[in-house]
Amino acid sequence: MTRLDEKQIISLFQRIVSNRKHTHEDVETFRIGRKFGVLKTDTLVFSTDVPPGMKLEDVARKSVVACVSDFAAKGVRPLYCLVSISIPRSFSRSHILRLARGFRAASKEFGVRILGGDTNEAKELVISVTMFGVADKIVRRSGAKASDSILVTGRFGRTSAGLEIILGKRKSDKKFASLAKRSVYHAVPRLEFGIDAAKYMTSAMDSSDGLSTTLVEMSAQSKKKFLIVKLPADAALDKFARMNNMNPLSLIFNGGEEYEIVITARQKDVIRIKQIAKKNGVPLTEIGHVQNGSGVFLQGHKAPIRDLGWRHFSN
């Protein structure tokens, strides 16, 4: 039997199901009159998506965050949400209450109304969240132009460091451990920033599949070269990597599960985006710029940054 990784499965599926070349996007869109309907579905599976020690309230929240982050990256406000949960027989009333409270809190946190959903029994907890919104247009993955700046929200590498710390594999100082673990248990998608800053973005993508995957995808769809000159990480990550004899670049580029936004924008608009980030309390780093050509390169390195973000099935 030939095993396929998630990207191959998606491609295979889309080619067969929709019988046409499909351009991957963070969300799906279709016409409603003069506007676009925006839909996204994302599924959380307990055995592959839930780190040890995560509270059920946070599991519910994480399933919502994944969709919210995709809307954020496209500059669209999600309005309505459906939740389909498949629950193992061993779950008690109190387990279900905790999940429900997590959904209620997330609904409030992101201003998305949960309309209803579906419950089932399954061998493990599986939560599918679908969100709907309406937009005049979305920010695409494919719009980067030569001489655009490349920016990212947040810090990268923390989530994979956090997961390693949670798994008890690595040592860390207390302060970084706390930040890193929080980034795993309680990721904060950049919804208000994404909506406010969308008009200044030439392209954007949710980074949750990993920074390298995201950059490679945007570069390929835009048919441009992405040159990275600055890393979106802090000294604490470097220290953690040194303490554990790890490559910080691998943590930063190949981690995944950072619900951040990778953005390209005209240089003249960077100042406006920075102001919006500041207003929303969102860390923003200008990490590089777009050039004619192809591939994603880190300054000082000859080889391109390959698409090495975390994938389902391949590990």
* Residues of the shown chain interacting with a second copy in the complex, contacts defined by CB under 8 A: 1-4, 6, 9-10, 12-14, 16-19, 22, 25, 28, 30, 32-33, 37, 39-43, 45, 47-49, 79-80, 82-87, 89-90, 92-93, 96-97, 99-101, 103-104, 107, 113-124, 126, 128, 130, 132, 134, 312-313
Nearer to a second copy, 220 or 270 (CB): 220
The minimum distance between CB 75 and a second copy, in angstroms, equals 19
Q: Is residue 217 annotated as involved in ligand binding?
A: no
Helix axes 56-74, 93-110, angle to 10 degrees: 30
Q: What are phi and psi of 281, to 5 degrees?
A: 65, 30
119 labelled binding-site residue? no
Nearer to a second copy, 92 or 299 (CB): 92
Q: How far apart are CA 295 and CA 197, in angstroms?
A: 26
58 annotated as a binding-site residue: no
The total number of residues written for the chain in this structure:
315
Amino acid at the residue 248: P
| 129 touches 83 (CB < 8 A) | yes
Select 80 or 185, whichever has its Cβ closest to a second copy. Answer: 80
**Whole-number minimum distance, CB 64 to a second copy, in Å?**
11
E strand or H helix at 18: helix 6-18
For residue 5, say whether it is annotated as part of any ligand binding site.
Answer: no
Contact call for residues 216 and 307 (beta carbons, < 8 A): yes
Confirm or deny that 208 is annotated as ligand binding: yes
Shortest distance, CB of residue 8 to a second copy, whole angstroms? 9
Under a CB-based contact definition with an 8 Å cutoff, are residues 41 and 129 in contact? yes
Task: State in angstroms the smallest separation of the CB of 234 from a second copy.
Answer: 32
Choice between 142 and 285, CB closer to a second copy: 142
Of 267, 137, 164, 153, the C-alpha closest to 206 is 153
Whose Cβ is closer to a second copy: residue 123's or residue 230's? 123
Q: Which residues contact 94 (CB under 8 A, 6 or more apart)?
A: none
- Distance, in Å, from the CA atom of 67 to the CA atom of 291, rounded to the nearest integer, reads 31
117 is annotated as contributing to ligand binding: yes
- Least distance in angstroms from the C-beta of 29 to a second copy: 8
Closest approach, Cβ 267 to a second copy, in A, equals 33
Residues 6+ apart with CB under 8 A from 91: 125
CA 203 to chain CA centroid, nearest Å: 15
49 has binding-site annotation: yes
Closer to a second copy by Cβ: residue 106 or 197: 106
> Is there a binding annotation on residue 310?
yes
Cα–Cα–Cα angle for 35, 262, 153, rounded to 5 degrees: 110
Return binding residues.
26, 41-42, 49, 70, 117-118, 141, 206, 208-209, 257, 310
Return binding residues for Mg(2+).
26, 41-42, 70, 118, 206, 209
Return binding residues for substrate.
49, 257, 310
